Amino acid sequence: MTYDQEIRSSKVVLMEFYASWCPHCQRMMPVVAQVKELLDGRANVCQLDIDNNKEAADAADVRSIPSFLIYVDGEEAWRHTGEIDGEVLLSKIESFL
C-alpha cells in the first residue's frame, strides 16, 4: 500500500515515522502498540521507518523522529514530534473519531 493509500485507509489514521536506530522511537514502540490495541480497529495505526520510506517522510515533511501525524479523511489534522504519553496520544486520536 502506498503512503497516500495508507493515510486514506480509514477515516482516522495515526501515522508514526520512526527509525530503528532512534532511542526515542524505541521507547515509543510499546506505547504505540498499546494505543493500537486500545483503539481496537476504530482508527488505523501505521508505522513507517524513515530509512525505508524516505519518499513518504519527505511527502509528510518529517524533519525529526519520532513524528506522529493524525490524518482525518486523508488530510493532516494534527502533528507531534518527540516522545508523547500514551494517554495523551490516545485521547488526541479519539478526539477525531
CATH number, residue 71: 3.40.30.10
- Give me the domain span that covers residue 56: 13-94
Q: Which three cell numbers stand for residue 25?
A: 522511537
Alpha helix positions (H), 18-85: 23-39, 54-59
Question: For position 2, what pLDDT does the model report?
Answer: 85
Residues annotated as part of the active site: 22, 25
Domain-embedded: residue 55: yes
Question: For position 1, what pLDDT does the model report?
Answer: 78
Domain-embedded: residue 72: yes
Domain-embedded: residue 5: no
Question: For position 23, what pLDDT does the model report?
Answer: 98
Domain-embedded: residue 6: no
16 Cβ contact partners less than 8 Å away, ≥ 6 residues apart: 28, 32, 45, 46, 47, 48, 66, 67, 68, 69
Q: In which band, very low, low, confident or very high, does the pLDDT at 67 lie, cut at 50, 70 and 90?
A: very high
Domain count of the fold of the chain: 1
**pTM, entire model:** 0.96
Domain-embedded: residue 57: yes
**Cα distances (angstroms) measured from residue 94 to each of 11, 22, 67:** 12, 27, 18
Domain-embedded: residue 36: yes
